[in-house]
Amino acid sequence: GAVVSQHPSWVICKSGTSVKIECRSLDFQATTMFWYRQFPKQSLMLMATSNEGSKATYEQGVEKDKFLINHASLTLSTLTVTSAHPEDSSFYICSAPGQGSSYNSPLHFGNGTRLTVT
């Protein structure tokens, strides 16, 4: 079945540094990918929609200059947390719809990235 690979699975960084998270669709093409953030004991909150060949669409309240998204190809989207601060520590999850229309295809999720900013 469709697989989404997310890397790294966990990362620890110092305040002020930047961290890049990769999301790859392994056996299908994804013109759209979704980036979610999950706080402890909270739901997954959509941060942004990554669009291949165009700018990402950010949800209200998400700083686009802080969370840089680049959809470099039909199988790769990256999320870069710039100038990270401890409050950015969270669990970040990417997802992509499978083959076919994004409105009908189920979403396939990466295993998530646990970011800890010290």
Partner 1 sequence: GNSVTQMEGPVTLSEEAFLTINCTYTATGYPSLFWYVQYPGEGLQLLLKATKADDKGSNKGFEATYRKETTSFHLEKGSVQVSDSAVYFCALRGAGQGNLIFGKGTKLSVKP
Interface with partner 1 by CB under 8 A: which residues? 4, 6, 32, 34, 36, 41-44, 46, 49, 93, 95, 97, 102-103, 106-112
CB of 62 to partner 1, least distance (A): 13
44 vs 68, beta carbon nearer partner 1: 44
Peptide bond between residue 97 and the one before it cis (omega within 30 degrees of 0): no
CB of 6 to partner 1, least distance (A): 7
54 vs 86, beta carbon nearer partner 1: 54
6 close to 20: Cβ distance less than 8 angstroms: no
Looking at residue 99, what DSSP letter applies?
S
